[in-house]
């Protein structure tokens, strides 16, 4: 046992409200093998951990053996990097403060680090994706909500308490702003998440009642951002305006983010990020129109280079390279 240990792989675990996905990853970001369990099957934490341990141990044994694993990274809601705890996560069955990193580290005998999913995505992008080699960038995830991870000087910004990077809750409309689940009104998330886009659709359709739109074929409360995208691609004017508005709100917010940390790039992830020029053109134009000369036309807006299916596991796994 005196020889230098070579541990070429890491494990990523992404705990979502529905599924817990996990996989073994190499230094280049290839996923060797992955599997998943249902997060909600067990209301008791112990039983969930037992099932996760059994399934992940099997995956590891079948592929490389635990001796080749350098560490385990976990992405989870309300996860605190500093403490290794999951704290009062509304979408998970186990309440209170859970010392998840400690539990996993003890079970497997390797270091474990954890953070929230948007932070994990940022570390993933820096390690394997669109932000390789960058020391300053901002990750924005456009999903059911809007998440973010901020990287400055080559390190993720966790803040003094581990909760930095809640850019989805920056206020973008101070007057008559939309009510957000966080308690505030006018949060970025209420306009530019997938649900925000659906909200904009309902607003626009009501305000422009005399105008025809493909979206009127769908019951208003069932319209999704995907429906808006499909209509926009077919040339629907209201649908295109919904994307223009969403891009404008994002562009205004990004201009303010740039004044904070002057990133080399802002990297977008999530379904909405795939809307292409429909979103990107108004976004980049508005962003640059809202910047002073020293920042104008200098900041790249990029798409994530992670494949959707692997992104969550890759992001979580990237944390593990530095886990102690």
R_g of the chain, CA atoms, integer Å:
21
Half-sphere exposure of 305 (CA within 13 A, CB side): 14
Largest CA distance in the chain: 79
Binding residues vs a second copy (CB under 8 A)? 134-136, 150, 152-153, 155, 157-167, 169-175, 182-184, 252, 255-257, 259-264, 290, 292-295, 298
By beta-carbon proximity to a second copy, the closer residue of 129 and 271 is 129
Neighbours of 55 (CB within 10 A): 15
Minimum CB–partner distance for residue 272 and a second copy (Å):
20
Rounded to an integer, what distance in angstroms lies between the CA atom of residue 30 and that of residue 12?
12
By beta-carbon proximity to a second copy, the closer residue of 64 and 152 is 152
By beta-carbon proximity to a second copy, the closer residue of 61 and 260 is 260
Minimum CB–partner distance for residue 78 and a second copy (Å):
8
Cβ contact 9:64 at 8 Å: yes
By beta-carbon proximity to a second copy, the closer residue of 55 and 264 is 264
Rounded to an integer, what distance in angstroms lies between the CA atom of residue 201 and that of residue 176?
17
By beta-carbon proximity to a second copy, the closer residue of 147 and 270 is 147
Neighbours of 26 (CB within 10 A): 15
Minimum CB–partner distance for residue 178 and a second copy (Å):
14
DSSP code for 78: T
By beta-carbon proximity to a second copy, the closer residue of 63 and 288 is 288
Minimum CB–partner distance for residue 217 and a second copy (Å):
34
Neighbours of 242 (CB within 10 A): 30
- Of 170, 193, 182, 191, whose CA–CA distance to 257 is shortest? 170
Kindly report the length of the chain. Answer: 324
Minimum CB–partner distance for residue 182 and a second copy (Å):
5
Minimum CB–partner distance for residue 210 and a second copy (Å):
26
Minimum CB–partner distance for residue 294 and a second copy (Å):
5
Q: Is 146 exposed, middle or buried (0-12, 13-18, 19+ CB in 10 A)?
A: buried
By beta-carbon proximity to a second copy, the closer residue of 40 and 261 is 261
């Amino acid at each position: 046992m005196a020889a230098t240990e070579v541990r070429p792989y890491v494990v990523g675990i992404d705990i979502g409200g529905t599924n817990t996905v996990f996989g073994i990853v190499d230094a280049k970001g290839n996923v060797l093998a992955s599997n998943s369990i249902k997060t909600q099957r067990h209301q008791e934490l112990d039983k969930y951990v037992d099932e996760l341990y059994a399934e992940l141990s099997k995956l590891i044994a079948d592929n490389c053996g635990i001796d080749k694993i350098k560490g385990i990274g976990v992405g989870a809601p309300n996860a605190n990097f500093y403490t290794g705890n999951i704290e009062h996560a509304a979408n998970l069955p186990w309440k209170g403060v859970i010392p998840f990193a400690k539990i996993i580290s003890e079970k497997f005998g390797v270091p474990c680090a954890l953070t929230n999913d948007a932070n994990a995505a940022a570390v993933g992008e820096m390690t394997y994706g669109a932000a390789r080699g960058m020391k300053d960038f901002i990750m924005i995830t456009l999903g059911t909500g809007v998440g973010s991870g901020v990287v400055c000087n080559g390190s993720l910004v966790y803040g003094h308490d581990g909760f930095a990077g809640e850019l989805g809750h920056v206020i973008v409309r101070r007057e008559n702003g939309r009510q957000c689940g966080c308690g505030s009104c006018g949060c970025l998330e209420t306009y530019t998440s997938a649900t925000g886009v659906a909200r904009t659709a309902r607003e626009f359709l009501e305000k422009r009642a005399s105008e025809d739109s493909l979206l009127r074929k769908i019951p208003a409360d069932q319209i999704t951002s995907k429906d808006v995208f499909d209509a926009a691609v077919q040339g629907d004017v209201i649908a295109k305006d919904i994307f223009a508005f969403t891009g404008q709100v994002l562009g205004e917010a990004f201009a303010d983010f740039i004044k904070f940390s002057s990133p080399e790039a802002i990297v977008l992830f999530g379904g909405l990020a795939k809307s292409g020029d429909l979103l990107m053109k108004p976004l980049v134009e508005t962003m640059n129109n809202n910047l002073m000369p020293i920042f104008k036309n200098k900041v790249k807006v990029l798409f994530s280079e992670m494949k959707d299916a692997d992104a969550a596991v890759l992001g979580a796994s990237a944390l593990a390279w530095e886990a102690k």
